[in-house]
Amino acid sequence: MWKEFKAFIARGSVLDLAIGIVIGAAFGAIVNSFVKDILMPPIGLLLSGVDFSNLYLVLKGDVPAGETLAQAKAIKGAVTLNYGTFLNEIINFLIIAFSVFLVMKAANKILPKPAPAPEPAKTKDCPFCCSPIPIAATRCPNCTSTL
Q: Is the pLDDT score of 48 beyond 80? A: no
pLDDT confidence bin for 8, thresholds 50/70/90: confident
Determine the average pLDDT of the residues in 38-64.
80
Distance CA 46, CA 59 (A): 28
* Residue scoring higher pLDDT (12 or 29): 29
Residue 10 pLDDT exceeds 80: no
pLDDT at residue 50 greater than cutoff 80: no
What is the chain written as a DSSP string?
-HHHHHHHHHSHHHHHHHHHHHHHHHHHHHHHHIIIIIIHHHHHHHTTS--GGG--EEEES---TT--HHHHHHSTT-EEE-HHHHHHHHHHHHHHHHHHHHHHHHHHHHSPPPPPPPPPPSEEE-TTT--EEETT-SB-TTT--B-
H-helix or E-strand containing 86? helix 83-110
pLDDT at 89 over 80: yes
- Which fold would CATH assign to domain 2-114? 1.10.1200
Pairing of β 132-134 and β 123-125: antiparallel
pLDDT at residue 144 tops 80:
yes
pLDDT recorded at residue 102: 85
Q: What is the pTM of this model?
A: 0.55
Instruction: Give yes or no for residue 124 having a pLDDT over 80.
Output: yes
Task: Assess whether pLDDT exceeds 80 at residue 65.
Answer: no
| 99-118 tens-digit pLDDT | 878 888 888 888 888 888 88
Residue 111, H or E segment: none
The residue extents of the domains of the chain are 2-114, 120-147
